[in-house]
Amino acid sequence: MTKPQTFLALNWKMNKTPSESVQWAEDLLGQLGDLNIKLAIMAPSVSLAGLSGVLGDSQVGLGAQDISQHDSGAYTGEVSAAMLKDLGVKYAVIGHSERREYHFESDAVVAAKAAQAIKNGIVPIVCVGEKLSEREAGEQVSYTLNQLRGSLAGVSIQSADDLVIAYEPVWAIGTGKTATAQDAEDMCAEIRGVLKELYPAFAKQIVVQYGGSVKPDNIQEICGKPNVNGALVGGASLQVAGVTGMVDALK
Ligand code: 13P
């Protein structure tokens, strides 16, 4: 089985102003050589238009951090998939644990958003992962797979490229505690097992990322595992040097 191409997605979260984003992207493009991986920036909505102008058709893709599950209309503050598509957005992080926790997004909402993204030609990066309490109780696999099934309920795809899954154990996000590469592999293999049930024709080629305190010195070991096809990176994605360090580590 050939692995899908490694996909490194940079989740800036709520960081950088629009003008800082543009400057940062220009710096990154100036320092990147030819890439052997897929790379994309997941930026705050207000920065997407500026970034779209800088990134254009470069080898760095553009992504959002959320989308509305609705097409259009009276949803104050929301941003639709069609609006994002119009800006050249290719990806959207969906169901990040911070949105699940602080914005009370249920699995059903996550699934509706993922379907909405796919309907509009945007690839959802659907996030799942257990909290520390589930891991300490030894329930991380059942919890995460249950969340995965709920977050993909009614979501259909036409090719392996239509969907990305990110396994992000909540206890490893922003804490400096990384799951071991073997922990990441074990859960990503479980996730792929569910994908085989849901999407038998495509499961082997669907990108499954790991996220949680990934940085230049651990990315290679994690992404070297058979069922881990890339990373969703927060903190280490904020500095250009962090990104070039990770890109180099994957060469
Ligand atoms: P950190 O890389 O800062 O741990 O964040 C991970 C994350 O939440 C990416 O979506």
The whole-number pLDDT of residue 1 equals 58
Report the C-alpha gap between 94 and 68 in whole angstroms: 10
pLDDT tens figures, 190-245 = 999 999 999 999 999 999 999 999 999 999 999 999 999 999 999 999 999 999 99
The whole-number pLDDT of residue 49 equals 98
**DSSP strand pairing (7-11 vs 60-64):** unpaired
Q: Which long-range contacts (CB under 8 A, 24 or more apart) does 34-39 make?
A: 34/59, 35/59, 35/247, 36/6, 36/250, 36/251, 37/5, 37/6, 37/7, 37/8, 37/230, 37/247, 37/250, 38/5, 38/6, 38/7, 38/8, 38/230, 39/7, 39/8, 39/9, 39/10, 39/243, 39/247
- Position 104 in a domain: yes
Query: How many structural domains compose the chain?
Result: 1
> How far, in Å, is the centroid of ligand 1 from the Cα of 120?
26
pLDDT average, residue stretch 136-154: 97
Report the C-alpha gap between 112 and 68 in whole angstroms: 9
190 is an active site residue: no
Which is more confident, 15 or 173? 15
Catalytic member of 105, 130, 134, 168: 168
pLDDT over 90 (residue 179): no
The whole-number pLDDT of residue 194 equals 98
Residue closest by Cα to atom 7 of ligand 1: 234
Average pLDDT, the chain: 97
> How far, in Å, is the centroid of ligand 1 from the Cα of 215?
10
pLDDT over 90 (residue 177): no
pLDDT tens figures, 31-81 = 999 999 999 999 999 999 999 999 999 999 999 999 999 999 999 999 999
- Position 1 in a domain: no
> How far, in Å, is the centroid of ligand 1 from the Cα of 184?
14
Q: What is the CATH number of the domain that holds 100?
A: 3.20.20.70
Kindly report the backbone phi and psi dihedral angles of residue 237, in degrees, each rounded to the nearest multiple of 5, phi listed first.
Answer: -95, 0
pLDDT over 80 (residue 178): no
Pocket of ligand 1 (CB under 6 A): 11, 96, 168, 173-174, 211-214, 232-236
Angle at the Cα of 243 from the Cα atoms of 241 and 249, rounded to 5 degrees: 100
Closest-lying ligand 1 atom to the alpha carbon of residue 213: 4
Look at the pTM and tell me if it is higher than 0.85: yes
- In terms of residue numbers, what domain contains 54? 7-249
70 is an active site residue: no
Which is more confident, 198 or 177? 198
> How far, in Å, is the centroid of ligand 1 from the Cα of 232?
7
pLDDT over 90 (residue 138): yes
Residue closest by Cα to atom 2 of ligand 1: 234
- Position 2 in a domain: no
The whole-number pLDDT of residue 176 equals 78
